[in-house]
Structure 1
Amino acid sequence: MNSKEEIVSITFYEYPKRNRWWAFNQMQLAIEPLKKAKGVKFFKLMGTGGGFGFSLKPDLKTYALLMVWNSLEFAKNFTDSDAYLRFNQQCRSNFTYWMQCIQSHGTWHGQHPFSVNEQKTDGPIMVITRARLRWNKILRFLSQVPESSRAAAGAEGLIYTKGIGEWPAIEQATFSYWQSQKHMETFAYQSGHREIIRKVKLEKWYKEELFARFVPINLDKQGADSPSR
Protein backbone atom coordinates (compact mmCIF):
# COMPACT_ATOMS: atom_id res chain seq x y z
CA MET A 1 0.00 0.00 0.00
CA ASN A 2 1.02 3.61 -0.51
CA SER A 3 2.67 5.04 2.61
CA LYS A 4 0.62 8.23 2.25
CA GLU A 5 -2.73 6.46 2.33
CA GLU A 6 -5.04 6.93 5.29
CA ILE A 7 -5.02 4.28 8.02
CA VAL A 8 -7.78 3.64 10.57
CA SER A 9 -7.22 1.99 13.94
CA ILE A 10 -9.58 0.90 16.68
CA THR A 11 -8.06 -0.15 19.98
CA PHE A 12 -9.92 -1.91 22.77
CA TYR A 13 -8.47 -1.25 26.23
CA GLU A 14 -9.41 -3.45 29.18
CA TYR A 15 -8.85 -1.97 32.65
CA PRO A 16 -8.46 -3.61 36.05
CA LYS A 17 -11.11 -2.71 38.60
CA ARG A 18 -8.86 -0.23 40.43
CA ASN A 19 -8.44 1.88 37.27
CA ARG A 20 -12.01 1.87 35.92
CA TRP A 21 -12.95 5.22 37.43
CA TRP A 22 -9.83 6.70 35.85
CA ALA A 23 -10.84 5.18 32.49
CA PHE A 24 -14.37 6.57 32.77
CA ASN A 25 -13.06 10.07 33.47
CA GLN A 26 -10.88 9.94 30.36
CA MET A 27 -14.01 10.21 28.23
CA GLN A 28 -13.67 13.94 28.90
CA LEU A 29 -10.16 14.43 30.25
CA ALA A 30 -8.42 12.70 27.32
CA ILE A 31 -10.02 14.82 24.59
CA GLU A 32 -7.37 17.56 24.62
CA PRO A 33 -4.38 15.15 24.72
CA LEU A 34 -5.88 13.16 21.86
CA LYS A 35 -6.22 16.31 19.78
CA LYS A 36 -2.44 16.70 20.02
CA ALA A 37 -1.67 13.26 18.61
CA LYS A 38 0.47 13.71 15.49
CA GLY A 39 -1.09 12.77 12.19
CA VAL A 40 -4.62 12.14 13.48
CA LYS A 41 -7.46 13.75 11.54
CA PHE A 42 -10.38 12.21 13.49
CA PHE A 43 -10.79 10.30 16.75
CA LYS A 44 -13.48 9.05 19.11
CA LEU A 45 -13.02 7.62 22.60
CA MET A 46 -16.02 5.45 23.42
CA GLY A 47 -17.48 3.17 26.02
CA THR A 48 -18.57 -0.37 25.12
CA GLY A 49 -21.44 -2.74 25.72
CA GLY A 50 -21.24 -5.94 27.72
CA GLY A 51 -22.37 -9.36 26.56
CA PHE A 52 -22.35 -10.42 22.92
CA GLY A 53 -22.13 -7.57 20.43
CA PHE A 54 -24.45 -4.67 21.22
CA SER A 55 -25.92 -4.73 24.70
CA LEU A 56 -27.96 -2.50 26.98
CA LYS A 57 -25.56 -3.42 29.78
CA PRO A 58 -22.35 -1.34 29.73
CA ASP A 59 -18.97 -3.02 29.84
CA LEU A 60 -17.29 -0.80 32.45
CA LYS A 61 -13.90 -2.45 32.08
CA THR A 62 -13.51 -1.91 28.30
CA TYR A 63 -13.14 1.28 26.27
CA ALA A 64 -12.58 1.79 22.55
CA LEU A 65 -10.36 4.37 20.86
CA LEU A 66 -11.05 4.96 17.16
CA MET A 67 -8.39 6.96 15.32
CA VAL A 68 -8.01 7.99 11.68
CA TRP A 69 -4.37 8.53 10.72
CA ASN A 70 -3.32 10.70 7.78
CA SER A 71 -0.70 8.22 6.63
CA LEU A 72 1.13 4.98 7.34
CA GLU A 73 4.08 6.89 8.81
CA PHE A 74 1.92 8.29 11.59
CA ALA A 75 0.00 5.06 12.15
CA LYS A 76 3.06 2.87 12.58
CA ASN A 77 4.34 5.17 15.37
CA PHE A 78 1.11 4.72 17.32
CA THR A 79 2.73 2.81 20.19
CA ASP A 80 5.15 5.70 20.77
CA SER A 81 2.46 8.37 20.79
CA ASP A 82 1.11 10.12 23.87
CA ALA A 83 -2.37 8.96 22.80
CA TYR A 84 -1.31 5.32 23.15
CA LEU A 85 0.95 5.60 26.19
CA ARG A 86 -1.63 7.52 28.21
CA PHE A 87 -4.00 4.54 28.19
CA ASN A 88 -1.45 1.74 28.02
CA GLN A 89 0.01 2.72 31.40
CA GLN A 90 -3.34 2.17 33.12
CA CYS A 91 -4.90 -0.75 31.23
CA ARG A 92 -4.60 -4.47 31.86
CA SER A 93 -4.49 -5.32 28.16
CA ASN A 94 -5.22 -3.83 24.75
CA PHE A 95 -5.55 -4.89 21.16
CA THR A 96 -5.62 -2.81 17.98
CA TYR A 97 -7.34 -3.59 14.69
CA TRP A 98 -5.71 -1.81 11.73
CA MET A 99 -7.76 -1.21 8.61
CA GLN A 100 -8.33 0.82 5.46
CA CYS A 101 -11.73 2.13 4.39
CA ILE A 102 -13.19 0.80 1.13
CA GLN A 103 -16.72 2.17 1.44
CA SER A 104 -18.39 4.84 3.56
CA HIS A 105 -21.61 6.80 3.52
CA GLY A 106 -23.20 9.08 6.06
CA THR A 107 -21.65 11.39 8.65
CA TRP A 108 -20.40 11.38 12.23
CA HIS A 109 -21.22 14.66 13.99
CA GLY A 110 -21.47 16.25 10.57
CA GLN A 111 -18.05 15.01 9.46
CA HIS A 112 -17.00 12.48 6.84
CA PRO A 113 -14.30 10.77 8.93
CA PHE A 114 -13.01 8.17 6.45
CA SER A 115 -11.32 8.60 3.08
CA VAL A 116 -12.37 5.79 0.74
CA ASN A 117 -9.86 3.70 -1.18
CA GLU A 118 -12.23 1.78 -3.43
CA GLN A 119 -11.24 -1.83 -3.88
CA LYS A 120 -12.90 -5.22 -3.96
CA THR A 121 -12.00 -7.99 -1.58
CA ASP A 122 -12.82 -11.66 -1.19
CA GLY A 123 -11.17 -11.81 2.21
CA PRO A 124 -12.03 -10.60 5.71
CA ILE A 125 -13.93 -7.36 6.14
CA MET A 126 -14.61 -5.01 9.05
CA VAL A 127 -17.65 -2.80 9.51
CA ILE A 128 -18.45 0.24 11.62
CA THR A 129 -22.06 1.38 11.89
CA ARG A 130 -22.96 4.45 13.88
CA ALA A 131 -26.21 6.30 14.59
CA ARG A 132 -27.51 9.24 16.59
CA LEU A 133 -31.05 8.45 17.70
CA ARG A 134 -33.98 10.81 17.76
CA TRP A 135 -35.11 11.37 21.34
CA ASN A 136 -38.64 10.16 20.65
CA LYS A 137 -37.32 6.89 19.19
CA ILE A 138 -34.99 5.83 22.00
CA LEU A 139 -37.44 3.46 23.71
CA ARG A 140 -38.38 1.94 20.36
CA PHE A 141 -34.71 1.37 19.60
CA LEU A 142 -33.99 -0.17 23.00
CA SER A 143 -36.86 -2.61 22.56
CA GLN A 144 -35.08 -4.07 19.51
CA VAL A 145 -31.67 -4.53 21.14
CA PRO A 146 -32.19 -8.08 22.49
CA GLU A 147 -33.41 -9.33 19.11
CA SER A 148 -30.48 -7.71 17.32
CA SER A 149 -27.97 -9.26 19.73
CA ARG A 150 -29.52 -12.71 19.30
CA ALA A 151 -29.31 -12.37 15.52
CA ALA A 152 -25.62 -11.41 15.71
CA ALA A 153 -24.85 -14.27 18.12
CA GLY A 154 -25.95 -16.79 15.50
CA ALA A 155 -24.34 -15.10 12.49
CA GLU A 156 -22.11 -17.39 10.45
CA GLY A 157 -18.68 -15.99 9.65
CA LEU A 158 -18.64 -13.41 12.44
CA ILE A 159 -15.15 -13.25 13.99
CA TYR A 160 -15.72 -10.48 16.54
CA THR A 161 -18.23 -7.78 17.39
CA LYS A 162 -18.52 -5.11 20.05
CA GLY A 163 -21.04 -2.40 20.77
CA ILE A 164 -19.35 1.00 21.12
CA GLY A 165 -20.66 4.50 21.69
CA GLU A 166 -20.17 8.01 23.03
CA TRP A 167 -23.47 8.22 24.93
CA PRO A 168 -25.64 5.34 26.15
CA ALA A 169 -28.81 4.88 24.07
CA ILE A 170 -28.40 8.22 22.22
CA GLU A 171 -25.22 7.75 20.16
CA GLN A 172 -24.57 4.12 19.36
CA ALA A 173 -22.13 2.30 17.12
CA THR A 174 -20.95 -1.23 16.45
CA PHE A 175 -17.67 -2.68 15.25
CA SER A 176 -17.75 -6.10 13.60
CA TYR A 177 -15.16 -8.31 11.93
CA TRP A 178 -16.25 -10.90 9.36
CA GLN A 179 -14.62 -13.76 7.49
CA SER A 180 -15.85 -12.27 4.22
CA GLN A 181 -18.15 -9.65 2.73
CA LYS A 182 -20.51 -12.44 1.72
CA HIS A 183 -20.92 -13.51 5.35
CA MET A 184 -21.56 -9.92 6.42
CA GLU A 185 -24.14 -9.31 3.70
CA THR A 186 -25.92 -12.58 4.45
CA PHE A 187 -26.39 -11.42 8.02
CA ALA A 188 -27.39 -7.86 7.06
CA TYR A 189 -29.80 -8.63 4.25
CA GLN A 190 -31.02 -12.20 4.65
CA SER A 191 -31.70 -12.59 8.38
CA GLY A 192 -33.76 -11.08 11.20
CA HIS A 193 -31.41 -8.11 11.10
CA ARG A 194 -32.98 -7.06 7.80
CA GLU A 195 -36.35 -6.57 9.49
CA ILE A 196 -34.79 -4.29 12.08
CA ILE A 197 -33.21 -2.18 9.33
CA ARG A 198 -36.61 -1.94 7.66
CA LYS A 199 -38.11 -0.57 10.88
CA VAL A 200 -35.25 1.94 11.22
CA LYS A 201 -35.94 3.38 7.77
CA LEU A 202 -39.74 3.25 7.95
CA GLU A 203 -40.01 4.83 11.40
CA LYS A 204 -37.05 7.22 10.96
CA TRP A 205 -35.26 6.34 14.18
CA TYR A 206 -31.99 8.06 13.33
CA LYS A 207 -31.11 11.74 13.25
CA GLU A 208 -27.71 10.90 11.78
CA GLU A 209 -26.09 7.67 10.65
CA LEU A 210 -22.91 6.28 9.13
CA PHE A 211 -21.96 2.94 7.59
CA ALA A 212 -18.38 2.09 6.63
CA ARG A 213 -16.57 -1.02 5.43
CA PHE A 214 -12.87 -1.71 5.83
CA VAL A 215 -10.23 -4.25 4.88
CA PRO A 216 -7.80 -5.31 7.62
CA ILE A 217 -4.13 -4.51 7.13
CA ASN A 218 -1.04 -5.85 8.85
CA LEU A 219 1.35 -3.14 9.91
CA ASP A 220 4.02 -5.77 10.60
CA LYS A 221 4.29 -6.20 6.84
CA GLN A 222 4.53 -2.42 6.45
CA GLY A 223 7.57 -2.14 8.69
CA ALA A 224 5.82 -1.43 11.99
CA ASP A 225 5.10 -3.39 15.13
CA SER A 226 1.53 -4.02 16.16
CA PRO A 227 0.61 -3.38 19.80
CA SER A 228 0.67 -6.47 21.97
CA ARG A 229 -2.48 -7.75 23.55
Structure 2
Amino acid sequence: MNSDTSILQLFLQASHLVQIVMLLLLALSIFSWTVIIQRTAFLKKTKKNTENFEERFWSGIELSSLFKEAQIKKDKIQGSEKIFYAGFKEYARLHRTHNKNPEYVLEGTTRAMRISYSKEVDALENNLPFLATVGSISPYIGLFGTVWGIMHSFIALGSVKQATLSMVAPGIAEALVATAMGLFAAIPAVMFYNRLTNKVSKIEHLYETFMEEFSSILHRQSSLNTEE
Protein backbone atom coordinates (compact mmCIF):
# COMPACT_ATOMS: atom_id res chain seq x y z
CA MET A 1 0.00 0.00 0.00
CA ASN A 2 1.40 3.41 -0.95
CA SER A 3 1.88 6.02 1.75
CA ASP A 4 -0.29 8.47 -0.20
CA THR A 5 -3.32 6.18 -0.24
CA SER A 6 -6.41 8.24 0.59
CA ILE A 7 -9.60 7.26 2.38
CA LEU A 8 -11.44 7.64 -0.92
CA GLN A 9 -9.10 5.10 -2.53
CA LEU A 10 -9.61 2.73 0.39
CA PHE A 11 -13.36 3.13 -0.01
CA LEU A 12 -13.23 2.41 -3.75
CA GLN A 13 -11.04 -0.66 -3.20
CA ALA A 14 -13.22 -2.10 -0.41
CA SER A 15 -15.75 -4.87 -0.94
CA HIS A 16 -19.33 -3.89 -1.75
CA LEU A 17 -20.62 -4.77 1.73
CA VAL A 18 -17.93 -2.68 3.41
CA GLN A 19 -18.75 0.19 1.05
CA ILE A 20 -22.41 -0.05 2.07
CA VAL A 21 -21.39 0.03 5.74
CA MET A 22 -19.24 3.11 5.16
CA LEU A 23 -22.01 4.92 3.29
CA LEU A 24 -24.49 4.06 6.05
CA LEU A 25 -22.14 5.44 8.70
CA LEU A 26 -21.54 8.57 6.64
CA ALA A 27 -25.30 9.10 6.33
CA LEU A 28 -25.77 8.59 10.09
CA SER A 29 -23.03 11.10 10.78
CA ILE A 30 -24.57 13.71 8.47
CA PHE A 31 -28.04 13.22 9.95
CA SER A 32 -26.58 13.40 13.46
CA TRP A 33 -24.91 16.74 12.83
CA THR A 34 -28.12 18.03 11.26
CA VAL A 35 -30.03 17.09 14.42
CA ILE A 36 -27.31 18.53 16.65
CA ILE A 37 -27.31 21.91 14.90
CA GLN A 38 -31.12 22.09 14.69
CA ARG A 39 -31.70 21.02 18.31
CA THR A 40 -29.01 23.34 19.67
CA ALA A 41 -30.57 26.34 17.92
CA PHE A 42 -34.11 25.30 18.95
CA LEU A 43 -33.25 24.84 22.63
CA LYS A 44 -31.36 28.12 22.73
CA LYS A 45 -34.32 29.95 21.21
CA THR A 46 -36.81 28.20 23.50
CA LYS A 47 -34.88 29.06 26.65
CA LYS A 48 -34.54 32.68 25.60
CA ASN A 49 -38.28 32.95 24.80
CA THR A 50 -39.17 31.32 28.11
CA GLU A 51 -36.96 33.69 30.10
CA ASN A 52 -38.34 36.72 28.23
CA PHE A 53 -41.94 35.63 28.85
CA GLU A 54 -41.40 34.93 32.54
CA GLU A 55 -39.70 38.30 32.94
CA ARG A 56 -42.81 39.93 31.45
CA PHE A 57 -45.08 37.67 33.52
CA TRP A 58 -43.49 38.88 36.76
CA SER A 59 -43.35 42.51 35.64
CA GLY A 60 -46.77 43.18 37.18
CA ILE A 61 -48.80 43.10 33.97
CA GLU A 62 -52.43 42.01 34.24
CA LEU A 63 -52.86 38.31 33.46
CA SER A 64 -55.81 39.07 31.21
CA SER A 65 -53.66 41.46 29.16
CA LEU A 66 -50.89 38.89 28.95
CA PHE A 67 -53.42 36.32 27.80
CA LYS A 68 -54.73 38.61 25.07
CA GLU A 69 -51.19 39.14 23.80
CA ALA A 70 -50.62 35.39 23.71
CA GLN A 71 -53.97 34.83 22.00
CA ILE A 72 -53.02 37.14 19.13
CA LYS A 73 -49.91 35.07 18.36
CA LYS A 74 -51.12 31.72 19.69
CA ASP A 75 -49.77 29.78 16.69
CA LYS A 76 -46.24 31.06 17.35
CA ILE A 77 -45.93 30.88 21.14
CA GLN A 78 -44.02 28.12 22.88
CA GLY A 79 -42.69 27.04 26.24
CA SER A 80 -43.98 28.70 29.40
CA GLU A 81 -46.10 31.09 27.35
CA LYS A 82 -47.90 28.17 25.73
CA ILE A 83 -48.49 26.59 29.15
CA PHE A 84 -49.76 29.91 30.49
CA TYR A 85 -52.10 30.33 27.53
CA ALA A 86 -53.57 26.83 27.94
CA GLY A 87 -53.96 27.24 31.69
CA PHE A 88 -55.49 30.71 31.70
CA LYS A 89 -57.84 29.85 28.85
CA GLU A 90 -59.18 26.84 30.75
CA TYR A 91 -59.30 28.82 34.00
CA ALA A 92 -61.40 31.56 32.39
CA ARG A 93 -63.74 29.03 30.81
CA LEU A 94 -64.29 27.03 33.99
CA HIS A 95 -64.53 30.13 36.16
CA ARG A 96 -67.47 31.39 34.13
CA THR A 97 -69.42 28.16 34.62
CA HIS A 98 -68.13 26.84 37.99
CA ASN A 99 -67.17 29.98 39.89
CA LYS A 100 -68.70 28.54 43.08
CA ASN A 101 -66.40 25.54 42.99
CA PRO A 102 -62.78 26.83 42.98
CA GLU A 103 -61.28 23.38 43.52
CA TYR A 104 -62.90 22.08 40.34
CA VAL A 105 -61.70 25.15 38.45
CA LEU A 106 -58.12 24.73 39.65
CA GLU A 107 -58.13 21.01 38.95
CA GLY A 108 -59.24 21.59 35.36
CA THR A 109 -56.70 24.39 34.94
CA THR A 110 -53.87 22.20 36.22
CA ARG A 111 -54.91 19.41 33.90
CA ALA A 112 -54.87 21.76 30.90
CA MET A 113 -51.40 23.02 31.84
CA ARG A 114 -50.14 19.47 32.28
CA ILE A 115 -51.31 18.52 28.79
CA SER A 116 -49.63 21.60 27.33
CA TYR A 117 -46.49 20.85 29.38
CA SER A 118 -46.30 17.32 27.97
CA LYS A 119 -46.54 18.62 24.42
CA GLU A 120 -43.83 21.21 25.05
CA VAL A 121 -41.52 18.60 26.58
CA ASP A 122 -42.09 16.32 23.58
CA ALA A 123 -41.05 19.22 21.34
CA LEU A 124 -37.88 19.69 23.40
CA GLU A 125 -36.96 16.01 23.21
CA ASN A 126 -37.74 15.63 19.51
CA ASN A 127 -34.98 13.71 17.63
CA LEU A 128 -32.81 13.29 20.73
CA PRO A 129 -33.45 9.51 20.79
CA PHE A 130 -31.97 9.41 17.27
CA LEU A 131 -28.66 10.72 18.63
CA ALA A 132 -28.72 8.09 21.37
CA THR A 133 -29.36 5.38 18.78
CA VAL A 134 -26.52 6.57 16.55
CA GLY A 135 -24.17 6.70 19.51
CA SER A 136 -25.10 3.16 20.48
CA ILE A 137 -25.10 1.32 17.16
CA SER A 138 -22.49 3.14 15.04
CA PRO A 139 -19.45 1.44 16.63
CA TYR A 140 -21.03 -1.96 16.10
CA ILE A 141 -21.89 -1.19 12.48
CA GLY A 142 -18.31 -0.10 11.92
CA LEU A 143 -17.00 -3.20 13.67
CA PHE A 144 -19.17 -5.38 11.46
CA GLY A 145 -17.66 -3.75 8.38
CA THR A 146 -14.17 -4.24 9.79
CA VAL A 147 -14.70 -7.91 10.59
CA TRP A 148 -16.21 -8.54 7.18
CA GLY A 149 -13.37 -6.73 5.42
CA ILE A 150 -10.66 -8.59 7.31
CA MET A 151 -12.41 -11.89 6.72
CA HIS A 152 -12.67 -11.08 3.03
CA SER A 153 -8.94 -10.30 2.91
CA PHE A 154 -7.92 -13.57 4.57
CA ILE A 155 -10.22 -15.59 2.34
CA ALA A 156 -8.48 -14.01 -0.67
CA LEU A 157 -5.14 -15.16 0.73
CA GLY A 158 -6.29 -18.75 0.47
CA SER A 159 -5.98 -18.60 -3.29
CA VAL A 160 -2.27 -17.74 -3.30
CA LYS A 161 0.69 -19.96 -2.48
CA GLN A 162 2.77 -17.40 -0.60
CA ALA A 163 1.12 -14.75 1.58
CA THR A 164 2.89 -11.51 2.40
CA LEU A 165 2.06 -8.49 4.54
CA SER A 166 1.81 -6.29 1.46
CA MET A 167 -0.97 -8.51 0.16
CA VAL A 168 -3.15 -8.41 3.27
CA ALA A 169 -2.38 -4.87 4.49
CA PRO A 170 -4.58 -2.99 1.98
CA GLY A 171 -7.61 -5.12 2.79
CA ILE A 172 -7.13 -4.67 6.53
CA ALA A 173 -6.68 -0.90 6.10
CA GLU A 174 -9.89 -0.71 4.10
CA ALA A 175 -11.72 -2.62 6.81
CA LEU A 176 -10.35 -0.47 9.65
CA VAL A 177 -11.71 2.65 7.95
CA ALA A 178 -15.19 1.30 8.76
CA THR A 179 -14.33 1.20 12.47
CA ALA A 180 -12.94 4.73 12.32
CA MET A 181 -16.10 5.97 10.62
CA GLY A 182 -18.22 4.22 13.24
CA LEU A 183 -16.39 6.09 16.00
CA PHE A 184 -16.55 9.32 14.01
CA ALA A 185 -20.35 9.01 13.92
CA ALA A 186 -20.80 7.76 17.49
CA ILE A 187 -18.60 10.10 19.54
CA PRO A 188 -20.25 13.43 18.58
CA ALA A 189 -23.71 11.84 18.85
CA VAL A 190 -23.06 10.67 22.42
CA MET A 191 -21.41 13.93 23.49
CA PHE A 192 -24.18 16.16 22.16
CA TYR A 193 -26.93 13.81 23.31
CA ASN A 194 -25.72 14.21 26.90
CA ARG A 195 -25.28 17.96 26.48
CA LEU A 196 -28.67 18.53 24.86
CA THR A 197 -30.43 16.26 27.34
CA ASN A 198 -28.99 18.37 30.16
CA LYS A 199 -30.32 21.52 28.49
CA VAL A 200 -33.74 19.92 28.07
CA SER A 201 -33.82 19.02 31.77
CA LYS A 202 -33.08 22.62 32.75
CA ILE A 203 -35.86 23.96 30.51
CA GLU A 204 -38.28 21.35 31.85
CA HIS A 205 -37.45 22.55 35.35
CA LEU A 206 -38.31 26.11 34.27
CA TYR A 207 -41.66 24.88 32.98
CA GLU A 208 -42.46 22.97 36.19
CA THR A 209 -41.50 25.90 38.41
CA PHE A 210 -43.63 28.27 36.34
CA MET A 211 -46.65 25.93 36.53
CA GLU A 212 -46.41 25.73 40.30
CA GLU A 213 -46.09 29.48 40.69
CA PHE A 214 -48.89 30.20 38.23
CA SER A 215 -51.14 27.66 39.98
CA SER A 216 -50.48 29.40 43.29
CA ILE A 217 -51.50 32.74 41.78
CA LEU A 218 -54.71 31.29 40.37
CA HIS A 219 -55.44 29.61 43.71
CA ARG A 220 -55.16 32.94 45.54
CA GLN A 221 -57.29 34.60 42.86
CA SER A 222 -59.98 31.93 43.21
CA SER A 223 -59.97 32.31 47.00
CA LEU A 224 -60.46 36.06 46.73
CA ASN A 225 -63.33 35.64 44.25
CA THR A 226 -65.02 33.09 46.53
CA GLU A 227 -64.78 35.42 49.54
CA GLU A 228 -66.34 38.19 47.50
Q: Which has the higher strand share?
A: 1
On whether the aligned pair clears a TM of 0.5, the verdict is no
User: Which of 1 and 2 has higher RCO (CA within 8 Å, sep 6+)?
Assistant: 2
Specify the structure having the higher radius of gyration (Cα). Answer: 2
Q: What TM-score does the superposition give when structure 1 sets the normalisation length?
A: 0.21
Could you say which structure has the higher helix fraction? 2
